[in-house]
Structure 1
Amino acid sequence: MHFKTIHDVHHCFDHDLKPVEIINSGDTRRFDILDASGGLITRDSKAEILTRLPMDALNPVCGPLFIEDAEPGDVIEIELLDFEPGGWGWTGIIPGFGLLAEEFTKPWLKISEYDNESVYFYDDIVIPFRPFAGTIGLAPAEPGSHSIVPPRVCGGNLDIRDLVKGSKLYLPVQVTGALLSIGDTHACQGDGEVCGTAVETRMAATATISLHKGDSIPAPMFDMPAVASDNHNEGYIVTTGVGPDLMEGAKNAVRFMIDRLKKKAGMDEELAYALCSVAGQLKISEIVDQPNWVVSFYIPKSIFKSHSLKAI
């Protein structure tokens, strides 16, 4: 089926933005989503471009849509119906950004081709194609222009890799009309998006938007369907971070994995860091045995096509 496409983009969340369209509960729209650079990064770009990207123009989102009858205290449901692949994407280490920003200070850029099944990340590293929109949000009640970069309780740059086709995201309405915007599509991403980027790509996304009157929730929630396996049936390589601070534990678990990939697979540390961002899974394994908590970082062995890489 063909649905009306939203092309208009904006670069902030603001409840004073003029909506591009007024829609009704149950309407379906197709969003023509630019990559996180707004199209400034091309297949031929070099890493240097990451030092001069205009930060106020990054992560453009399509919209906003005004949902008829939506009021504070209501909930908007976004059912994700389809993602249309764009064929290629980029992963970058941007100076000053990412979990280990203080350690990775130089720009680094990787262009990846992909198809409907796989992202061809590097030589013998192939990651399952698992598209989703990193940014889905409603306008906040607070007045003024708000950056798209941080997530909020009314949604935004959530970067939840499980918001795939078939998922339903629920967001609390804070302003009249809700003002829904969607952007930041990814071909694949690891839990945590630790280097700050996934495989960023232009994509079209189709979603049905529904209103639930009076069904107040405090923050985003979602229903995730049963999905086909990521083919991660060969096990995982897992590192950990242990200590009294979860953030430092997350950093240490990722540092540990980067070190293993460097020592055992011969990877440059930038490539290892980026791989952690697009394919790893950062998890809290234990948070009850005070004073120390355990954060684990998983890399699926199935993404490595060389047997030597599976033994790191």
Structure 2
Amino acid sequence: MGALAGHTIHKDHIHHGWNNAFQPCLQIAPGETIEFQTVDASSGQLTRESTAADLERLDLARVNPVTGPVHIDGAEPGDALKVTVLSLRPSGWGWTGNIPGFGLLTDQFPHARLHHWNYDPGLAPAMYGPGGRVPLRPFTGTIGVAPAAPGLHSIIPPRNVGGNMDARDIAAGTELYLPIEVPGALFSVGDTHAAQGDGEVCGTAIESPIDVVLQFELVKGARLRMPRYVVPGPVTNHFDRKGYEVTTGIGPDLMQGARVAVSEMVELLASRYGYDPLDAYMLCSVCADLRISSIVDVPNWVVSYYFPRVVLE
């Protein structure tokens, strides 16, 4: 894998949701490394042969499976778990879907659509429709530890102990710090992506099984309130080479601004490049970045949406 792991957790050790009563499948000491085999975000409900009809039948209680949990010796509430992403090995297949009722523009795009990506695990661009070439940069979409609150908690919303953050820069070389709320931390990871734009606007990225090697250390008494991470270098090199098309949404509501900026980009891609609007929306989700450009000029804020021209040229 490019990084040797002291342990391997196979993909049959998955769970759905967070629960601090889940029994760990492995116990390690700080400093050790683990290779996690992950399952795609559908938990295997979708395969290379699946269609949009399968997406409509998706059991949402089984989405975003995570591999684990792992007990880290000596981890106590108030400590932080330092997780270093050593390497990721993509599988060569993934999918992007528009799931009815899910996504930033679900009211505009209510119908299911499923796109399969077959890509070079050596990280050549993946193809999308006529002329779209998306540079790949794999990362972990869901990565976190168990919350202190008892019972089963949905895996869908992110939370202060991490989880489904979909932060595309938690990639190879990144150091992630997670607040620990229960003894042993009970760490799990999954929902791996081959590529994603900041915002993941249609609700899915290139959802792809990826084997991940992570190293674990403890920071005693860190008292973190929220996750933090350190990236090892530039984060947009894979998209920067040809510049960007940028649309904006301006007004008093950031969420509405985001919706407008994305809608404007969908319209641009459809009118200039001939994409079906739903295909354009899904393509945006895997490669375009939402940014808050201005949040101080009362009463209106500016949300910008950056689409990398390298995808289309």
TM tier, shorter chain?
Answer: over 0.9
CA distance, structure 2, for counterparts of residue 28 and residue 69 of structure 1: 16
Aligned residue in 2 for 1:34: 39
Provide the secondary structure at the position in 2 that maps to 1:91. Answer: strand
1:212-231 alignment, distance < 5 Å: 212-227=219-234, 229-231=237-239
CA shift, 1:62, in A, is 0.3
Per mean C-alpha deviation after superposition, the further-off stretch among 24-33 and 226-235 is 226-235
Q: Secondary structure at the match of 1:230?
A: helix
Instruction: Describe the shift of the 1:244–1:231 C-alpha distance in structure 2 as closer, same or farther (beyond 3 A).
Output: closer
Aligned counterparts, 1:109-148, within 5 A: 109-115=114-120, 116-117=122-123, 118-148=125-155
Asked if residue 167 in structure 1 is aligned to residue 170 in structure 2, the reply is no
Partners of 2:5 and 2:213 within 8 A in 1? no
Work out which of the residue numbers 170, 184, 190 in structure 1 matches 2:191.
184
Conserved? CA contact 1:119–1:187, under 8 Å: no
**1:310 matched to which residue of 2?**
none
- Corresponding position of 1:4: 7
Render the CA deviation track for 1:144-176: whole Å, top value 9, x for unaligned: 100111000000000000111000110000111
> For 1:180-233, what per-residue CA distance to the aligned partner results, in whole angstroms no more than 9, with x for missing partners?
000001000000000000000011000001111101111010000114821522
Alpha carbons of 1:2 and 1:169: their partners in 2 closer, same or farther (altered >3 Å)?
A: closer
Q: Say which SS state the counterpart of residue 63 (structure 1) adopts.
A: strand
> 1:125 offset after TM fit, Å?
1.0
Letter in 1 for 2:49: D
Alignment equivalent of 1:235, drawn from 228, 243, 256: 243
Quote the offset at 1:263 in angstroms: 1.2
Contact 2:148 2:182 (8 Å CA) reproduced: yes
Partner of 2:84: 79
Deviation at 1:113, TM superposition (A): 1.3
| 30, 40, 43: which one aligns with 1:25 | 30
Query: How far apart are the structure 2 equivalents of 1:164 and 1:175?
Result: 26
CA contact (8 A) 1:119 1:188 kept: no
Is the 2:88–2:211 Cα contact (8 Å) retained in structure 1?
Answer: yes
| SS in structure 1 of the partner of residue 258 of structure 2 | helix
Residue pair 1:113, 1:121 contacting (<8 A) in 2 also:
no
Work out the CA distance in 1 between the residues paired with 2:6 and 2:140: 18
Structure 1: give runs of 5+ residues left out of the alignment: 306-312
Q: Given the alignment of the two structures, is residue 287 of structure 1 paired with residue 292 of structure 2, yes or no?
A: no
SS at match of 2:126: strand
> What is the alpha-carbon distance in structure 2 between the residues aligned to residue 283 and residue 2 of structure 1?
36
1:44 aligns with 2:52: no
Q: How does 1:222-301 map to 2 (within 5 A)?
A: 222-227=229-234, 229-301=237-309
Q: RMSD in angstroms over aligned alpha carbons?
A: 1.0
SS in structure 2 at match of 1:66: strand
Structure 1 consecutive aligned stretches of length 4 or more whose deviation exceeds 4 Å: none
Between the two proteins, the alignment pairs up a number of residues equal to 305
Could you tell me the TM-score, scaled by structure 2's length? 0.95
Shift of 1:246: 0.3
Structure 1 equivalent of residue 208 of structure 2:
201
Residue 101 of structure 1 pairs with residue 109 of structure 2: no
Q: 2:239, 2:308 within 8 Å by CA — same for their partners in 1?
A: no
Counterparts of 1:105 and 1:231, CA distance in 2 = 29
Tell whether the 8 Å contact from 2:140 to 2:193 is kept in structure 1 after alignment.
yes
- Say if 2:133 and 2:311, in contact at 8 Å, map to a contact too: yes
1:280-311 CA-partner distances (Å, limit 9, x unpaired): 00000000000000000000111113xxxxxx
Query: What is the deviation of 1:99?
Result: 0.7
Distance 2:52 2:187 in 1: 33
**CA distance in 2 between partners of 1:203 and 1:27 (Å):** 20
Identical aligned residues as a percent: 48
Q: Distance in 2 between matches of 1:302 and 1:133?
A: 24
Stretches of structure 2 that go unaligned for 5 or more consecutive residues are none
- The answer for the alignment partner of 1:308 in structure 2 is none
- TM-score, structure 1 as length reference: 0.96
1:302 matches 2:310:
yes
State the secondary structure of the residue aligned to 2:47: coil
Q: Residue 114 of structure 1: CA displacement?
A: 1.3
